Amino acid sequence: MKQNYISILITSKDLDKRVDVIIAQKLKDLSRNRLQQLITNGNLKFNNTIITQPSIKLKKLGELILEIPKPKKYSLIPQNLELDIVYEDEHLIVLNKKAGTVVHPGSGNNENTLVNGLLSHCKNLSGIGGVLRPGVVHRIDKMTSGLLVFAKDDITHNSLSEQFKKKSIKREYDLFTWNFLKNERGTIETNIERSKLNRQKMAVAQPNSGKIAITQFWLINSFDISEKIKISYVKCKLFTGRTHQIRLHMSYIGNPLLGDRKYSRNNYHLQLTDNLGFFITENFIKTERHALHASKLGFYHPLQRKNLEFDSKFPADLLKLSNNLSNYSKISKIMNKN
């Protein structure tokens, strides 16, 4: 049998178990997400019958045949781009992404992405992410800055993906929001789905719809700019990684991010007047940059068998914003998370 086909004999011990669970127990190096993707794509047969539902339970003995396609060759253009490398070894690389940079090619962005630069720098990346997303384990928005990890091989990619699934990855973000927080710390837990009114936005969903999203937040400082202008410096920790999760959740509790045109209620970003421009740079507004920075990333290195943790300081625009805000500090102290 060819190397990209795997045979699994079903015994009486496997009956009435989910087919994806059976395979996962046999193939430890294959991530659950990757396995479910293979099944739904029609790459699994049971007694020569294609199975496309990972949750199906087997009722009789037989043979499972799983086809694992060989990685496709990249059709992307390697580009010699400037990369802010925080850490690198033969298995993975951690980058500090600039705001305005796209993570991987997609609709309207085929060049000048981090992946294009990594293909030139690393030569080899994990193929699990697909043709357009080699090495991509997770993403942050185009206008968000901060830390990202990319995998150079499939074993590392599978391990990191499982850590994300098990919520053991440490991810913290620094952000500036409109208004004072009603609670100095808390956890936002809602379901999230794509907005029915605007497909480019996410929306809070009913409990029986969408996917669960959990964000922990705590206040670092508050800034009393004027009678109407209040700003908060907040840190967030993600327990799930949904699209636009922090931006949506902070808007949901009444504290949209500075500069976030998509999720700001009542057009907060348009309320800035010339004489209030001291607390946010002109460039910050022009680029539609929201005040969100992925400042901490921690994970278990599967080959080195140790925990790694990285920190990223404010980029120039957020540092200038932070310095200007310091003159209007309300509490003037750091509130550490327990």
Q: Catalytic residues, which ones?
A: 141
Continuous segment of H or E residues that includes residue 151? strand 145-151
Residue of 62, 150, 145, 65 whose CA lies nearest to 104: 150
Cβ atoms of residues 32 and 158 within 8 Å: no
**What single DSSP character describes residue 122?**
H
- Give 9: exposed, middle or buried? Use CB within 10 Å, 0-12, 13-18, 19+: exposed
Note the Cα 15 to chain centre separation in Å.
36
The rounded distance, in Å, linking the Cα atoms of 233 and 199 is 29
- 301: helix, strand or coil: strand
Give, as one character, the DSSP assignment of residue 204: E
Buried b / exposed e along 68-96 (16+ C-beta atoms within 10 A)? eeeeeebebeeeebebeebeeeebbbbbb
